[in-house]
Amino acid sequence: DVKVTQSSRYLVKRTGEKVFLECVQDMDHENMFWYRQDPGLGLRLIYFSYDVKMKEKGDIPEGYSVSREKKERFSLILESASTNQTSMYLCASSSQLEEQYFGPGTRLTVT
Amino acid sequence: EDKVVQSPLSLVVHEGDTVTLNCSYEVTNFRSLLWYKQEKKAPTFLFMLTSSGIEKKSGRLSSILDKKELFSILNITATQTGDSAVYLCAVRHYGSSNTGKLIFGQGTTLQVKP
């Protein structure tokens, strides 16, 4: 079974802190994705990566950056957390033509 | 602008009812349409549809795609309380990096009452 894990299920941070969310997949997938999910807005793509050290902006990249130094690991970084970044963050991975497999999500609260 | 629209946004039914969830899309370079079920955790994959008119079926769930009219439906027959979830529709398209990004709809929240 494909497994996608995320470093934390729940996280509480203060405004202005730097926040790291990590995602690891064990299926040697080329593609990895970071989404945020908010009520009424569905899943929105923040960033994705199609290879090691390769990344591309999604629909809402502002305030976020990413890092992919190894194929199995994709990190989302909030350089200076703000309250409007309080959300559920979901990581996913996929091969080129397959469905995306999701991690359990990290519920981030910024106070 | 590419978009995926689901309807209704929420639905309340009783056990045993049949429900139909709708997903319409306007997406360039369409490749496939996917349905996911999300309970209070990660979305889990249900179906991937690439061809019009071919029904995919899994137990009480079935789905079909109409590429001419640009929509898909997800049917659930004889609903059970365990079907209560958010159902997500997503369309895969190919952009410049050829990664097959997904564009998600807002989701339909289904509540099945005993």
Q: B51-75: per-residue pLDDT in tens?
A: 999 999 999 999 999 999 999 999 9
- What is residue A89's predicted lDDT score, i.e. its pLDDT? 97
Q: Which residues pair with B5 in a beta bridge?
A: B24
Least CB–CB distance from B99: residue in A4, A50, A102: A50
- What is residue B98's predicted lDDT score, i.e. its pLDDT? 60
Least CB–CB distance from B106: residue in A33, A41, A104: A41
Alpha-carbon distance of B30 to B54, in angstroms, equals 17
- What is residue A2's predicted lDDT score, i.e. its pLDDT? 66
Q: With 60 as the cut, is the pLDDT of residue B7 above it?
A: yes
Q: With 60 as the cut, is the pLDDT of residue B96 above it?
A: no
Mean pLDDT, rounded, for B8-37 = 95
Residue B102 with chain A: CB contacts under 8 Å: 33, 43, 45, 100
| pLDDT tens digits, one per residue of A9-43 | 999 999 999 999 999 999 999 999 999 999 888 89
| pLDDT tens digits, one per residue of A43-55 | 999 999 988 988 9
Cα pseudo-dihedral B73, B79, B84, B89, rounded to 10: -10
- Within chain A, strands assigned E span 4-6, 10-13, 19-25, 31-38, 42-51, 54-57, 64-70, 73-78, 87-94, 101-102, 106-110
Q: Which helix (H) or strand (E) holds B44?
A: strand B44-49
Pick from B33, B8, B9, B19: nearest CA to B74: B19
The band of B41, judged by pLDDT with boundaries at 50, 70 and 90, is confident
Alpha-carbon distance of A48 to B101, in angstroms, equals 8
Q: Is B85 in the A-facing interface, judged by CB distances under 8 Å?
A: no
The band of B97, judged by pLDDT with boundaries at 50, 70 and 90, is low
When scoring B36, B92, B97, B108 by the number of chain A Cβ atoms within 10 A, the one with the most, hence best to mutate, is: B97
CB atoms A105 and B106 under 8 Å: no
When scoring A90, A100, A107 by the number of chain B Cβ atoms within 10 A, the one with the most, hence best to mutate, is: A100
- Comparing A6-20, A48-62, B88-102, the range with the smallest average pLDDT is B88-102
Residue positions counted in chain B: 114
Pick from B75, B97, B88, B86: nearest CA to B36: B88
Selected residue with higher pLDDT from A97 and A3 = A3
